[in-house]
Structure 1
């Protein structure tokens, strides 16, 4: 009897934890003892339209959906349920505000981390519309979170308004204009 194995990717919105889409990739040579897989997933910034289907009867605890990269149907189960047809109930021991995944893992909101999402990150320090992104705990320079600044701002917490020089001429000038600019070390530090 031959068993088919695959790798599945489920994508969630990092801010709302809303389910977005799933991809499934078959393991082509299941008889090999080691596998190296490389995939490139194209996740749109706008919500992916999840194609509903009627192929599977997923019961009251799931709904039929399709993988983005194939035409294969699967049951996407409600929280606390798993199984091919979403008919196996399991206890969720994840912290409130997180999502229990069918693989018995927890999907944590941005301000929490850990195996069950009980450890809290520091409050988001980003200012001026900057977005907090959790840092990789394995990183040498681990800080908990780092900021992605909105246009026009810079600095570790997006606290610095980018300098901007606008030059206007009252009348039409020659094609060549020479200018002289002096930068201070402080400005140079945040430009890097």
Structure 2
């Protein structure tokens, strides 16, 4: 049998006739035709308030512009706490994808198998003469995405649904109610219990089922520990993973996050703090520090203990600081040293896995703008920042303090009395939490 009978395909015998098994990018009796393909690199960014164990189901469609017919589709299961920096690669192919666009629908699925619609996007595909086109997409799932977030739009036909806009386009579409499908939501469609119909031949399944109508049960096999949940990421490839509880991480949830508990807030403040920023600081050398990660807490009760996890780390860093906002004003705040381990101890393979502490007034960092000694004989605060910072050598040498700050810099005073200053980086790897 000739190797060239099938173009990049596999020749097989079928009742005495030669036929071809074509690769996904080719079609025809002898794989002589090349499919038009859309290559998509997808990065999903979810809100910090997104529930830890919830998943995002992403459905990508290749839609014919004229007829609105779906030419190809693909589904992705995305876990924000597992795939936070992951980029998905999706390939959509069709025999006739020249004049088409890509539509992306997102759904939130929780551990109780409840499905909720989030948002949709539309991406036009220029250059229809090219056989392969590429898209690099960054989807941002914000708190105001959702089925009921926007109303008042009008679709040409929307019988059993709600007319909604795309997140990135002025175009609108009909988002069907449960049990209905079609362009105008005029076709009834039955899925398995708990599933949601999305087009004439597909349903969005809860995490424990799969298939076009979600009648097939998932059987995920993995050795999850410490209360982790085994989930099936891809039913076709049999790929599964462990979804860990809040305290654990690792491939099998075998590792425990280092944690810090603030038992009491013994400082002057109201009973509710609107915002508390916790920053983990790592030291490489005495002269070099960096803000490893930041956790943002909202509406913190000062009469309840606050538990803080050092995500994906089994030990705490040598220093943890807190930026406490006393009110909604951006200027009404103070810095506190929550945890400080001497570097000589920390370097001797010393690991802190859990610490209980309390926040007291003596842990407060000085505001350089309120220090009288810094304003005489001249008011250095009137200088530009690039000129002002060189005078910060005086702050550590002339005052018995551990730390200080201004509007831009946060500075430490180590033993040699030379300030170690860093720009306040509050956006790095931020997560939102609450204890109210």
Pairwise TM-score range, normalised by the shorter structure: 0.5 to 0.7
Determine which of 229, 237, 242 is the counterpart of 1:147: 242
Query: Partner residue of 1:12?
Result: 107
SS state at 1:29 partner: coil
Q: Measure how far apart 1:65 and its partner are.
A: 0.4
Q: Does 1:158 align with 2:253?
A: yes
Give the direction of change, closer, same or farther, for the CA distance of 1:63–1:154 in structure 2 (3 Å limit): closer
Measure the CA separation in 2 of the matches of 1:173 and 1:99. Answer: 53
Q: Measure how far apart 1:161 and its partner are.
A: 3.9
Q: Does 1:54 align with 2:189?
A: no
Do 2:120 and 2:166's aligned partners in 1 also have CA atoms closer than 8 Å?
yes
Determine which of 341, 344, 360 is the counterpart of 1:176: 344
Give the direction of change, closer, same or farther, for the CA distance of 1:53–1:27 in structure 2 (3 Å limit): farther
SS state at 2:102 partner: strand
Across the two proteins, how many residue pairs are aligned to each other?
Answer: 172
Measure the CA separation in 2 of the matches of 1:152 and 1:29. Answer: 49
Report which stretch shifted further, 112-121 or 64-73: 112-121
Report the structure number with the largest CA radius of gyration. Answer: 2
Measure the CA separation in 1 of the matches of 2:192 and 2:233. Answer: 20
Q: Structure 2 length normalisation: TM-score?
A: 0.33
Report 1:1-192 matches (<5 A). 3=66, 5-15=100-110, 16-30=114-128, 32=129, 34-44=131-141, 46=143, 48-49=145-146, 50-56=149-155, 58-86=157-185, 88-92=186-190, 94-122=191-219, 130=228, 132-137=230-235, 139=237, 142-143=238-239, 145-154=240-249, 156-158=251-253, 161=256, 176-177=344-345, 178-180=347-349
Question: Once the two structures are superposed, what CA deviation does each residue of 1:158-181 show, in whole Å capped at 9, x if it has no partner?
Answer: 25545766799xxx9976345146
CA RMSD in angstroms comes to: 3.8
Do 2:218 and 2:235's aligned partners in 1 also have CA atoms closer than 8 Å?
no
Question: Once the two structures are superposed, what CA deviation does each residue of 1:85-144 show, in whole Å capped at 9, x if it has no partner?
Answer: 33x32432x3222112124112110011123322212479756564554222454xx45x
Do 1:53 and 1:73's aligned partners in 2 also have CA atoms closer than 8 Å?
no
SS state at 1:36 partner: strand
Unaligned runs of 5+ in 2: 1-64, 67-98, 259-313, 319-339, 352-436
Question: Once the two structures are superposed, what CA deviation does each residue of 1:42-99 show, in whole Å capped at 9, x if it has no partner?
Answer: 232635154323332645401110000111122112234344433x32432x322211
Give the direction of change, closer, same or farther, for the CA distance of 1:134–1:45 in structure 2 (3 Å limit): farther
SS state at 2:242 partner: strand
